[in-house]
Structure 1
């Protein structure tokens, strides 16, 4: 919805800038999505003035050119070479001065410069109407009939309109704000300024026209129907101010009658419809419904079959208009129309919404009617429109004003308690301030007590019918930004949030791991005490001992899933099943000072070869990257991103990594130390990961993050770094992500070298960098700048040497 600042100023005094007004409205719930400048003539005729031709002589070297001197309000006249045949001394003309930029009706804009034309200096240009974009004629220069002084800006003569237009993303509940008056009402409350409405004029019958009668057959769907006959109209173009207003809000002017109805709709929010009076049979309007499948031709010349549920405006011969939605071809206003019946009504939102959806017709009128218009506006809007028809189109009132309104729509009565106001807002607002805000919104406060009051809401506020709605109105005018956040912020939820089903979450991962070729283990929670005694990483004091032991081998509860899994590995390896990948969800147990503690863990095991020997390639043993890749897949499935990683070289690992999320440890993974393998009698390498399943389940999210695929190509650049062996890839990655910024989409390692060709204690990383901009195609300059930042960061932060 577009709102003109100039038009708002007709209702309320505004000294604030358009940007300040936009911020104010957005803060109160009318979200301004943009502020645009509007000029009725492209370029605003900047640098174009009124001038007077003082002299005019033929060009000595060109028969079709004239040399003129023109007074444009400067100390000395300007010499201008002109090619128009109608130029003559004594004329008032339009002059584009040097430096002015012209926006012709046809063609590209161009700038006026000092020039020599056939050897004669020319300081400007005397213009035809198409050259400055105000018309299409190029028959000659414009000759003006004006007494304006020379040098007067042409924008004053042509009444160029300049405006700022707000683009408001109107939410469905704010039907009351679907007009300039509606927005002005909000500004009135926000700024605490008065609003000025044009006085309502009485419609005095000027002439006697054809009699007209109205029969409303369905008062439920049409609670109010008003109209009047206007004759002696001259259908023509609208005055410039009206055309400028319509263009500023994105509408094209049609003729003065239609333009006035569009003006009233966008100004007051009240749709009107004009019927050609001569096309209304027997002078009778019938508001009702027609049978299903009745054919009806609308203004767009399409024949539509009626549903039988839409409200129709008819005469005795049949339908003339789908009420509140679209007019009919047979009754519309044309250039030959001289008399009209002007309709202004209040229709039920439900019937308009159904009709609009059934026919797939969305119009400015239906947009407002189906959300709820003001039932008290039809007569006022009708009188405003008739006044404009009299002023602009020469119309005369030829009938009494008809107003069928048998059951007036009542105001909403809402009981409000101050305690509820303060509770829902989260801040105490003084009763005097509450009353002031509501009265500024035209909501009356009655029956005041110390604990509450009765709010009387006008029916145009269709969204304010409950106590919570009143409180929302108070808050949005008081200002969301004025409600301080407490140190212990809490909130109430309107909707239930389902508790995570841990069994479903576990099953989801079980399916994934099984699909990757893993076997699930289910092992005994009882284990050997010797594992804690000799492993070096389990605390004997934390062993949970069994009082009635079946055997010493099953004497304690396990503290880790490692050894129960290694026993399975050993069992299979001893039976020549050496290529193993498995996982287990299991519980671990610890004795602590306060009693006993247990927790769920996810263990993953690799051993042997990742792929069997074949004629295509030799057998490939499992490596750390295989285990890390599987752990990444698990975390990705749970939508968890690792915060940081640390190298670990202590039991039970020969080497490995600790994964962290903030300060909390997610888990550990790596190559199992030989000492652990001997304890479990395993005779080949085992890769092991143990993850804290309780923590993972708590942090898991069902929400996926998506982003639009860039339309612009990605670019790859490679670097080779020589760094200390102690520097991890994770350190390198963190440096790269920070230095590469938003352009760095991905970083990878495609080669690692450690050998005699580089210095002892060093290693070489060959890194690939994928760069991509979401909004532009990357240029060599931008790419080189990004790579320079990366190189500098590697050199300074990890002591890297760049290999060429």
Structure 2
């Protein structure tokens, strides 16, 4: 929502406050300012443009269409300017762009005035036409002024340009009372302790007068719960035309395009008072207005020329025979004001927020009116706004007010009455506030004091404050005006409960992992939790007795809930392969379902699938096939991202995983990674290799720790040593790593295998591992003696525990 400070200043005195001070005041009181922008009525503000007087005007000696002029700019000497306008003449008052001025003929183009020569004659500026300075479109000739202003007067002063500052307010849903300039002024009134200069009741009523009752309109309200109050009046004999400058300035400053004087007045009143209005062409209304619910399925064309199918709970404004407007949301194409309109029926109503909210959501229509109605307008503002707008229409469009005000308001909406204890005010705010200060704040906010004792007050809150209905709300109102910064902090701070670590947010962790996987080239998928029972009946790893069966199956292929995430992912891969997309890298967060003796069970998983190539073919390299390490590296990155510690691995192979690893932490399996068994892949129609990871997401969330440990980077260099170990074929790198870490705990920082060999140069049943060891002392530079001692200890451990032969 945008607030113009010039407009706001017409309601409450803020001349002595800077835009930044108003920004801070409103933000601290709950109307959070998200942006502050300076707005120029004319781009550039006509800087460098002044009023001048043409003293001499002679024909250019070298150009028939040019004149050489002498112009008085209020300086010591007149300046010479070459001008091509046909209407330039001596004695004229003109607008002159001086040397160095920047002109903006349109918002997207500009040019600077420079000293120059035109056909041999010096020119020290430019005499301007209106289109050259962004004030119009005419280029028939220069502007000739009718003014007594002295030469040299800034052009901005002559044109009465009104620059402005506009606040962008991020209005929270509960503060609909602040959705207008008047609403912001009400807060500033009490914050600054100044009287409001608003559209006062007296001023409105002095301007408003009913001329006759020649065009009365009967109003029928079908449901007064949906429309508790409906007010209206007719104005006849008007002339629809362009709005005056001041009104267009007001609307343009907050980003609204002026339309015509009648529509502009309804928008002006909406943004000044917060009360939506609608002007109907009286010729379309006739003499009857019906506020009623639509017939289910009937069609209605709105102002945007879109045909909409109405719902039975859409509240409509209709004449005797047809709909004219979706109440509180959007007008109809036929009933709006246009250039041919001579009489209008002006509507000012209060609709129930729930009714407008449903209609707005059902039709995906958001307007300035629906924004306010669905949050709760002021039911006591309808008549005030109606009289204000009617008086303005009569003033700017002519005509006469040709009916009495019709006001259907069978049951008045009462104020909220609330009991407040002074001790609760002090307790919740955390500081004793003088009772008189409390009273002055409440009365400044239009909250009346009905009763008062030494301990309590009974207050009456106007219905436009829909967010103030409890004692705690009253105390919040006191605090936001008193000022959060005015509450003193005690010397010692304490809290009733201090968490020892931050709460784990599963959604935040999921987003972290999603971003990491997406950044690694994976695409997220969402698959059906329903699957076929053939997977569990044909694979020994899945127990058919644990299938959660669907009672009313739609298809034999969707008869159970999935026990594994594998097959829905394989079906996605099959779908892609059939469409020539053979290189697939996808992941999914989802659930599996199991029937246990104790009942039904859901488990949360993260699955990852990689198939095809991991790098594309190019001129610089060949395509690289995806393998086990492609997916295992992703899993280990997830562990690092979530700070999962103490992970060990075990080798597995079964009906679903041909070979792979299980990752174990805290004595439970947290992930399974491997090659999908071709038998399982074939069941899903996939014939190429697929590498798969199944992660127990619930377990990872429980194990997640935000307690990262940091230490200083060592200042001393590391040393690398390599060993070639000939081992039994069954020996694993994991066993080498475990022995090395137990043997050399102080200096060994990292261990890695960089080559594996099996072949004719080794005996049957043996293989060779080439392993690198990184050694480092964090307190000093390693010498050969320390390095040799560490390596000899490792060699002895490998020879003893693995029967390794060290190749020289």
Instruction: Specify which of 324, 339, 358 is matched with residue 362 of structure 2.
Output: 358
Map of 1:227 onto structure 2: 232
Question: 1:46-85, CA deviations, whole angstroms, 9 ceiling, x for partnerless residues?
Answer: 1111212111001111222110011222222111111112
Instruction: Specify which of 739, 756, 760 is matched with residue 686 of structure 1.
Output: 739
Q: State the shift of 1:423 in Å.
A: 2.3
Does residue 1:246 correspond to 2:251, yes or no?
A: yes
Map of 1:101 onto structure 2: 102
Question: Structure 1 78/685 Cα, relative in aligned 2: closer, same or farther at 3 Å?
Answer: closer
- Aligned-residue CA RMSD (Å): 4.1
Map of 2:323 onto structure 1: 319
Instruction: Specify which of 409, 416, 426 is matched with residue 412 of structure 1.
Output: 416
1:22 and 1:122 map into 2 onto residues whose CA distance is: 46
Q: State the shift of 1:261 in Å.
A: 0.4
DSSP-derived class of the 1:200 partner: helix
Question: Structure 1 751/105 Cα, relative in aligned 2: closer, same or farther at 3 Å?
Answer: farther
Map of 1:9 onto structure 2: 9
Question: Structure 1 102/492 Cα, relative in aligned 2: closer, same or farther at 3 Å?
Answer: farther
Question: Structure 1 603/645 Cα, relative in aligned 2: closer, same or farther at 3 Å?
Answer: farther
1:104 and 1:77 map into 2 onto residues whose CA distance is: 26
Instruction: Specify which of 237, 240, 256 is matched with residue 242 of structure 2.
Output: 237
Question: 1:212-270, CA deviations, whole angstroms, 9 ceiling, x for partnerless residues?
Answer: 21112211111111111111211111111111111110100001110000000000000
DSSP-derived class of the 1:285 partner: strand
Map of 1:210 onto structure 2: 215
Which aligned pairs between 1:78-227 and structure 2 lie closer than 5 A? 78-105=79-106, 108-198=109-199, 199-201=203-205, 203-227=208-232
Question: Structure 1 582/176 Cα, relative in aligned 2: closer, same or farther at 3 Å?
Answer: closer
Question: 1:77-115, CA deviations, whole angstroms, 9 ceiling, x for partnerless residues?
Answer: 111111112211122211111121100138621111211
DSSP-derived class of the 1:686 partner: helix
Which aligned pairs between 1:724-763 and structure 2 lie closer than 5 A? none
Q: State the shift of 1:417 in Å.
A: 1.3
Instruction: Specify which of 255, 258, 262 is matched with residue 257 of structure 1.
Output: 262
Question: 1:618-675, CA deviations, whole angstroms, 9 ceiling, x for partnerless residues?
Answer: xxxxxxxxxxxxxxx9999624353334899xxxxxx9xxxxxxxxxxxxxxxxxxxx
Map of 1:643 onto structure 2: 709
Does residue 1:440 correspond to 2:506, yes or no?
A: no
1:103 and 1:500 map into 2 onto residues whose CA distance is: 53
Map of 2:759 onto structure 1: none
Q: State the shift of 1:687 in Å.
A: 5.0
Q: State the shift of 1:498 in Å.
A: 8.5
TM-score by length of 1: 0.65
1:437 and 1:47 map into 2 onto residues whose CA distance is: 48
Which aligned pairs between 1:588-603 and structure 2 lie closer than 5 A? none
Question: Structure 1 363/492 Cα, relative in aligned 2: closer, same or farther at 3 Å?
Answer: farther
Question: Structure 1 639/65 Cα, relative in aligned 2: closer, same or farther at 3 Å?
Answer: farther
Question: 1:503-526, CA deviations, whole angstroms, 9 ceiling, x for partnerless residues?
Answer: xxxx999999xx979xxxxxxxxx
Asked whether the 8 Å contact 2:12–2:198 carries over to 1, the reply is no
Question: 1:721-740, CA deviations, whole angstroms, 9 ceiling, x for partnerless residues?
Answer: xxxx99999xxxxxxxxxxx
TM-score by length of 2: 0.64
Q: State the shift of 1:581 in Å.
A: 10
Question: Structure 1 102/684 Cα, relative in aligned 2: closer, same or farther at 3 Å?
Answer: closer
1:31 and 1:332 map into 2 onto residues whose CA distance is: 35
2:53 and 2:774 map into 1 onto residues whose CA distance is: 82
2:392 and 2:237 map into 1 onto residues whose CA distance is: 14
DSSP-derived class of the 2:420 partner: strand
2:661 and 2:329 map into 1 onto residues whose CA distance is: 71
Question: Structure 1 143/688 Cα, relative in aligned 2: closer, same or farther at 3 Å?
Answer: same
Map of 1:787 onto structure 2: none
Asked whether the 8 Å contact 1:209–1:229 carries over to 2, the reply is no
Map of 2:462 onto structure 1: 458
Count of residue pairs brought into register by the alignment: 568
Question: Structure 1 510/325 Cα, relative in aligned 2: closer, same or farther at 3 Å?
Answer: closer
1:63 and 1:8 map into 2 onto residues whose CA distance is: 54
Instruction: Specify which of 329, 340, 347 is matched with residue 336 of structure 1.
Output: 340
1:684 and 1:474 map into 2 onto residues whose CA distance is: 67
Question: Structure 1 687/102 Cα, relative in aligned 2: closer, same or farther at 3 Å?
Answer: same
Asked whether the 8 Å contact 1:264–1:385 carries over to 2, the reply is yes
Map of 2:653 onto structure 1: none
Asked whether the 8 Å contact 2:210–2:401 carries over to 1, the reply is yes
Asked whether the 8 Å contact 1:509–1:637 carries over to 2, the reply is no
Map of 2:349 onto structure 1: 345
DSSP-derived class of the 2:384 partner: helix
DSSP-derived class of the 1:7 partner: helix
Asked whether the 8 Å contact 2:748–2:775 carries over to 1, the reply is no
2:362 and 2:661 map into 1 onto residues whose CA distance is: 63
Instruction: Specify which of 271, 287, 308 is matched with residue 266 of structure 1.
Output: 271
Asked whether the 8 Å contact 1:509–1:634 carries over to 2, the reply is no
